């Protein structure tokens, strides 16, 4: 990838690929890359023709090494606070995308890189990669959602172990604790990512959005509120053409052809 843009947005059919493009800096996040990422995320959020999103990085050495510490050394305290606010907002933008998201972790994902992955719905990790929230080793804490999202994913005890000890997990360890969903051999990573995408895209795109909303929206609600929210998400699907297409395809014993309508 020769484009010098720090984050590149590309499309393949109904899939958007957001690629962090700073391999010379181990794809670390600086102010410029955060602004570019947020602009692309706003575009993706509003596009009904995008059914799924992949967050990836240029090269297989590093998915994202977290915040760019070279830039961090040049910032005063107020600028650091603004950077942390921006990186946290970026993670929220990813988490709040209506489309299902996949983190394609082909290299090391530490600190903010791990937080990027945590902001996605699904995580595919290469077998040789490492992942972790290692901020305490730098006398800071995960400040872009890691202290909140990790325990909700792997449990408080495991999250404390990882964060307080600044652990770097192997792919096998990340899979075992539920931090990632699948592990792929590095040599076949692209094929495994495509296979995961195809499994996702064979399902109704509007149903995927509604299911994501029902799950995420209900997490902080009471049981009764969450059930009502799920019902409202279901109601959105009832009048769609895709739902009728699924019924027709079932009756005709053929694969459905969903249009996202």
Tell me the C-alpha to C-alpha distance, in Å, between residue 72 and each of 67, 112, 158, 234: 8, 13, 29, 45
Catalytic residue among 111, 112, 132, 204: 112
Two tokens at 196?
């995961």
- Catalytic member of 16, 25, 62, 67: 67
Please identify which of the residues 135, 143, 184, 230 carries the catalytic annotation: 135
**Residue 3: left (phi > 0), alpha (psi -120 to 50), or beta?**
beta
The answer to whether 68 and 30 have CB atoms below 8 angstroms apart is yes
Give DSSP secondary structure letters for 8-19: EEEEETTEEEEE
What letter does residue 256 receive in the DSSP assignment? -
- What is d(CA 37, CA 94) in angstroms, rounded to the nearest whole number? 9
In the numeric block, which tokens belong to residue 209? 């959005």
Active site residue 112: yes
Structure tokens that stand for 230 in this block: 């799920």
Active site residue 135: yes
155 given a catalytic annotation: no
The catalytically annotated residue of 115, 117, 143, 184 is: 115
Ordered strands of the 15-20 beta sheet? 7-12, 15-20, 52-57, 101-105, 122-126, 182-184
d(CA 9, CA 86): 19
Q: List the catalytic residues.
A: 67, 112, 115, 135
């Amino acid at each position: 990838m020769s484009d010098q843009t720090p984050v590149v947005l590309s499309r393949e059919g109904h899939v958007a690929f957001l690629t962090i493009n700073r391999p010379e800096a181990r794809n670390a996040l600086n102010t410029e890359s955060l602004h570019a990422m947020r602009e692309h995320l706003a575009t993706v959020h509003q596009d009904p023709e995008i059914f799924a999103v992949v967050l990836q990085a240029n090269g297989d050495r590093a998915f994202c090494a977290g915040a760019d510490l070279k830039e961090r050394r040049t910032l005063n305290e107020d600028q650091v606070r603004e950077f942390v606010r921006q990186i946290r907002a970026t993670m929220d933008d990813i988490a709040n995308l209506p489309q299902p998201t996949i983190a394609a972790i082909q290299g090391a994902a530490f600190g903010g890189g791990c937080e990027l992955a945590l902001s996605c719905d699904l995580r595919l990790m290469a077998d040789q990669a490492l992942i972790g929230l290692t901020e305490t080793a730098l006398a800071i804490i995960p400040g872009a959602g890691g202290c909140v999202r990790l325990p909700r994913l792997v449990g408080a005890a495991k999250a404390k172990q990882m964060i307080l000890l600044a652990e770097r997990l192997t792919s096998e360890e990340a899979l075992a604790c539920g931090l990632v969903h699948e592990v792929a051999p590095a040599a076949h990573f692209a094929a495994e990512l495509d296979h995961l995408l195809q499994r996702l895209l064979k399902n109704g795109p509007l149903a995927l959005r509604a299911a994501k909303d029902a799950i995420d929206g209900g997490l902080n609600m009471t049981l009764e509120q969450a059930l009502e929210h799920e019902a409202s998400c279901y109601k959105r699907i009832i009048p769609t053409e895709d739902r009728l297409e699924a019924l027709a395809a079932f009756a005709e014993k053929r694969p459905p052809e969903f249009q996202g309508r």
